[in-house]
Structure 1
Amino acid sequence: MSAPTPPTAELHLHVEGTIEAELLVRLADRDGLPLPSRDPAVLRERYEHFADLQAFLDVYYANLAVLRTEEDFHELATGYLDRARAAGVRRAEVFFDPQTHVGRGVPLEAVIRGLSSAFAAAEETHGVSAALILCFLRDLGPEAAEEILRAALPLREHFIGVGLDSAEVGYPPSLFTRVYAMAASEGLHRVAHAGEEGGPDYVREALDLLHVARVDHGIRAMEDPELVARLRAERIPLTVCPLSNVYLRAVDALPDHPLPRMLDQGLVATVNSDDPAYFGGYVDENYRAVARDLGLDRARLAQLARNSVDAAFAPAEDKRRWHGEIAEWTARAG
């Protein structure tokens, strides 16, 4: 029997990475779009082995051609919420990549309104508190990031923050200082991918230049003891994605993952799923995997869940309720 998993917040989840093969086929059929196969099993086989992040991104972006209308984005978001509810997610702060869709000719309003219409009702329909974080594709450069932020600001009520994703190497956080200052002036929360492919210097830049509240991934910070000490002292959350790190070769195998060391050194590490349709599972499956392969006991799983709630951009009263649910789970598990 699988080990139980605690109630949790999920803070590192790309909604475009939740497009399951069945939904891919359904949306492609609806619009008469070509696919490499109409067989979901064959499509899933393409997800099993990625040589590196770029190999994954090639498949990932090709699949997104099926997302064209507000209805498509609403259906995508609802599919994630269905799975999040089953995974015990209480709070989901979800990344989306508007530049990808606008670049294909999809209206920005269709993207944002389609996703937000599902998330706005998520607490009522799924028991999940959900919010959107608009991400900049770092490989498109800082000017494009500024352009998409300006375009999105009339829809500011539908997202709570900004992030920085896509291939790290060659696109350090320092390139995006100005657009992050723009986001700060709008009262937006700021996070950024750093320290997955890029080294500890990328994490430091995200902290010093982008003034992020959370670091997404951040596992390579463990290479720099001074940086680890800073992350511990400043209580900077790290949104770690264990199964994703293995699939993209950031670590060789899950037993080699630094997550236990991160907890041992007092870091605010959290567990998340990243792109679960591609990387071996949703957040509950990540919890079960680290329990099994890293030997994390229930007390440590509960600590990861508490860290996730502490790191969420959610009202204090909600956090108190979720902490209570984690405490109840811990008592039952004990």
Structure 2
Amino acid sequence: MSGPSGLHAKLERFPIDKDLVGRETATGRIPKTLRPIFRDHEDFTAGHTLNEQTLAALDASAALIVLCSPASAKSHYVNEELRLFKTRHPDRPLIPVIVGGTPDDPKDECFAPALKFKVGREGEITTAPEELLAADVSEEADGRSLAIAKTVARLLDLQTDDVFRRAERERRRQGRVRSTIGSVIFGLMAAGGFLAWQSHQRQQIITEVEAIVAKYSIVSPAEAAVPDTKESLTKAITAIAEGAAGDARYAKALELLKAGKPAEAEPLLLAVAEEKESRAARESKQAAAAYENLGAITRLSALRLLQCRLAWYGFRSVKVGQLRQLSERTLFVDLLQTCGTILCTVEIDPRSGAIRRCLLYTSDAADD
């Protein structure tokens, strides 16, 4: 609280508990807010004399709050206002708030004579001491919060403890609300930043994939004859690029593919596929997809090694579930059509589900 302005603002913004609003007290029905509070010296306007406006304000006021300090105690103007208010409205509350000085201290007196002593019917200041219940904003006395609560309690004719307790409860509630709002705003900012980062990462992956696919553009007639080769290659490299953030093998394979070394990337991709295969009971689909990605990259290797690699990787893919069942005992899968059709025939034990035999055929060779 910084002087009259601080007290004025805090009183007008003071949160009156909704349970108190409308209650009848000696000062009337408790309002929703204490606004407006007339403030002397600032609220006067041109066109009226000081005395006219002061008298009008005093007559319209349900209570008078006086800020007590050594300066106000010596002010003739303040003393006259107090005298007039006590004379004209002796039944209305007069609330002293000490902002400096010490009562009854000759060198540091903070109470004006009209406040400190009773005022007679004719407006004369007597020598009879007034019983004063003052709020003191100093930290050594009430402190700011309690001083405000005391002032509000006098204005509304309530117990100070009741007002103070309710005000503290409301202050804590508002603190929680502000904290929640702050957390939400921070969360939204963080989410916005994450989404922006995620969008940037996605665009970066797309750019990398497009560059790698362009690097391995299909040029040979054998490769050109394979349907959807470019699409499968794009899908495989995209999966590798997306997995690079969480798997160092994918990250290394991606760098090798960028460097034009698909043969060196192949063992890394095989390691990923084999690891997923070892958990085939719960990850059969992921393992099959990993082998599919590996097969797409294998096409980039020397064509003379292509058939045996496709046969082996095709068999591994079959093991993890990429099958098309034609009868109870025999399953077929059409793997790829590069350098001849490769057909895989798998015989499975109907009781145990184990693979009894796998025959892999190509147009040039057969592997048992």
TM-score above 0.5: no
Q: Which has the higher helix share?
A: 1
Q: Which has the higher contact order (CA 8 A, sep 6+)?
A: 1
TM-score by length of 2: 0.26
